[in-house]
Structure formats: structure tokens, C-alpha cells
Amino acid sequence: MGKKVTVVGAGFYGSTTAQRLAEYDVFETVVLTDIIEGKPEGLALDLNQSRSIEGFETKVIGATTGVDGSGYEAIAGSDIVVITAGLPRKPGMSRMDLLEVNAKIVRGVAEQVAKHAPNAIVIVVSNPLDEMTALAQLATQFPKNRVIGQAGMLDTARFTHFVAEELKVPVGSVKTLTLGSHGDTMVPVPSRCTVDGKPLSDLLPAEKIEELVTRTRNGGAEVVALLKTGSAYYAPSAAAARMAKAVAEDSGEVMPVCAWVDGEYGISGVYLGVEAAIGATGAKNIVLTDLSESELAGLKEAAEAVRAKQADVAGL
Ligand SMILES: NC(=O)c1ccc[n+]([C@@H]2O[C@H](COP(=O)([O-])OP(=O)(O)OC[C@H]3O[C@@H](n4cnc5c(N)ncnc54)[C@H](O)[C@@H]3O)[C@@H](O)[C@H]2O)c1
């Protein structure tokens, strides 16, 4: 049987994710849902009509859902569910400003996912990311390895782009890594950043690296400020779609994701940005990397910051 993946929320993030997933041509079905009547069906029809040009056989199914759970039959038996439902930021807003409104949406969606797709791996992208991932796990009651969040892939990709631009080299020769939270406590790992295998610190002065890190940390806000309505979706959807593909193919690819950390790095009981091997069971295992003293201190600080907020979401 071919794989079935559902994308909840047919806004910018959700619709571009559905497009990427369909164009991979590895899934039998991509289901796209939204509460806006007709929008997911219309987008699905449009995507299906691109199949002969793009050369993929995956079928896209659109389904309008109600907050009462109507329409959720369409997601039945999904192997993977990507949750993109929720409001994006407006200029000047922080991700944390979305906490209450998105918590209601994500909790409602997660409860329906648990009911209709009880064996799914859940990939959360709604913001604030670390908190919404923790909330989706609470609301589904799925084992923690089966609920993961997307942030690190995107932050890393942004950092990589900025380094490649700065040094005028192909993005393919740049490797970067960011851990921690998707926000102010993002932890860049300079010791794991290389260009053609050479340490980034040999190629750029410390102040320049710090400048690129700051731009990466504010990477989402920079796009929001330019767009004025809505937030980034091309790079974010690429990140989430790659995670879903790794699950579908049980590839074991090591990716920076938001995953449950329980003892690794001396940190316990929190959803946090770390590297994990991604496969059919979600986060198969956390992959540890050597961190300098200050990088480890940054990661622990990020853990404490998100731990406090994640405790709050339980009551939302
Ligand atoms: N994790 C990341 O790296 C990252 C990056 C970019 C954006 N985001 C977040 O992703 C989310 C979506 O962004 P977007 O640009 O697609 O926003 P958008 O406004 O374009 O789309 C959101 C969609 O969710 C739908 N929706 C709302 N409640 C729903 C529900 N109960 N069930 C199903 N659908 C529902 C809305 O109708 C809308 O179509 C936002 O919270 C944004 O902050 C995360």
C-alpha cells in the first residue's frame, strides 16, 4: 500500500507543503484540509491538474473540516500528518504572540488526528513551534517519538544561505547547524559549520559570523517585514516536506528537528531543537554532537526557556 500524508491547513505553508509532497511522487495520496470551505478542494483540483506537466502520479484530495470534527474522515489511516493550521505573524509580532490563539487551533486539530489517524507520525509547524509541538503530543497522547516539530531544518537552511552569499560559494559546499528553540534562544553551533570541509571560523571573522547568526535568528521576521501580510513559506515548506519524506522512506536521515529530549546533553523532559534520525517511527533517536562549553550552556538555557512555556500550554 502506498503512503498517505495529510497536511492540515491549506494556507501558504500548507499548500506549498502539499505541492512539494505531491511532486516528490513517493506518496499514493496527499490530503489537504482547511476550515475554509472549498479552499482545500480547489487547491487539490489545481494541483492534480499539474500532474501531467510535472510528471507525478500522487493524488491530492482536498477536504473541508469543521471545528466539530466533520470532514476528518478524509485523513483516516494517514501515515504522516503535518499540522500547519494556525495564524502566522504580522510585522512586529513575535512568535510567542500567537501562543493562545494557535494553542486552541492546534489542540483541536491534534484531538481529531488522534481519533482519525491514530498511527500517524505528526510533524508540527504552527508557531510558537516548540510549544505547539509539546501541545500536539499532549493532545494526541501519542508516544513522544511520534510527534516532532519543524524548525531546525529551516534555521539551518537560512544560516547556510547567508554563509554561501557572504563567501560567494555554492550552498552545496556549506554545512551549518543550529539547535535550541525556534526563536530568541536558537543556538548556532559554529564548531559544526564548514565550507568545503574547512571550519567557518577560518574563513570569516568572529564578528561577521555573529552578524550572520543574528540575521538567521531574525530570518523569519525579516521575511514578515517585507511581505507585510503573512510569513515565509517556501523554505519552511521545503523543510517540513523533507521531514515527511524521511518518515515515509524510513531513511534514518539525521536532521535538526524539535524532538523530545530525555537525558541527552543532561537535559530532560522538554521538546527542544536537536539532531535526530528521522524514519518510520518519527524521531528514531536523538543524535548527539560534540558541543563546546558555551554551545552546551546555550542549549541548556534554551531548554529552560521553552520548558517554562511548554508547561503553560498544558492549560491552554
Ligand atoms: N515552524 C516554522 O518554521 C514556521 C515557518 C513559517 C510559518 N510557520 C507557522 O505556520 C503556520 C501557518 O502559516 P501560513 O503562512 O500557512 O498561514 P496562513 O494564514 O496562510 O494559513 C493558515 C491556514 O490555517 C487554516 N486554519 C485555521 N484554523 C484551522 C483549523 N482548526 N483546522 C484546519 N485549518 C485551520 C486557516 O484557514 C488558513 O488557511 C503559522 O502558525 C506560522 O506562524 C512556522
Q: What pLDDT digit, counting tens, does each position of 241-256 carry?
A: 999 999 999 999 999 9
C-alpha triplet 260, 262, 266: angle, nearest 5°: 125
Average pLDDT value over all residues in the chain: 96
Q: Whole-angstrom Cα distance, residue 4 to residue 79?
A: 5
For the CA of 239, the nearest atom of ligand 1: 3
Domains annotated for the chain, with CATH where assigned, are: 4-149 (3.40.50.720), 152-314 (3.90.110.10)
Q: Is the CB of 9 under 6 A from ligand 1?
A: yes
User: Per-residue pLDDT tens for 101-112?
Assistant: 999 999 999 999
pLDDT value of position 196: 97
CB within 8 Å of 117: residues ≥ 6 apart: 6, 75, 76, 77, 78, 81
User: pLDDT value at position 314?
Assistant: 82
pLDDT the model gives residue 96 = 85
pLDDT in tens, 298-313: 999 999 999 988 888 8
Gap between the Cα atoms of 295 and 180, Å rounded: 10
pLDDT value, residue 94 = 87
Encode pLDDT of 36-62 as tens digits: 999 999 999 999 999 999 999 999 999
CB of 129 within 6 A of ligand 1: the answer is yes
> What are the C-alpha distances in Å from 216 to residues 122, 160, 161, 200, 304?
26, 9, 9, 15, 21
Active site residues: 182
- pTM, to two decimals: 0.98
Give the nearest ligand 1 atom to 85 CA: 24
Residue 3 clears pLDDT 90, i.e. is over it: yes
DSSP state string for 189-246: -GGG-EETTEEHHHHS-HHHHHHHHHHHHTHHHHHHHHHSSS---HHHHHHHHHHHHH
67 lines ligand 1 (CB under 6 A): yes
Angle at alpha carbon of residue 125, lines to 133 and 25, rounded to 5°: 125
Q: In a mutational test of the pocket of ligand 1, which residue from 6, 7, 12, 13 has the highest number of ligand atoms less than 8 Å from its CB?
A: 13
Helix, strand or coil, per DSSP, at residue 75: helix
Which pLDDT score is estimated for 313?
86
316 has a pLDDT exceeding 90:
no
User: What percent of the chain has pLDDT above 70?
Assistant: 100
∠ CA 271-234-190 to the nearest 5 degrees? 55
What is the structure's pLDDT at 40?
A: 98
Rounded mean pLDDT, 257-274: 97
Residue 98 has pLDDT above 80, yes or no: yes
Instruction: Please report the pLDDT score of residue 105 as a whole number.
Output: 97
Residue 189's pLDDT is 93
- pLDDT over 90 for what percent of the chain? 91
For ligand 1, whether the C-beta of 85 sits within 6 Å is yes
Which pLDDT does position 95 carry in this prediction? 87
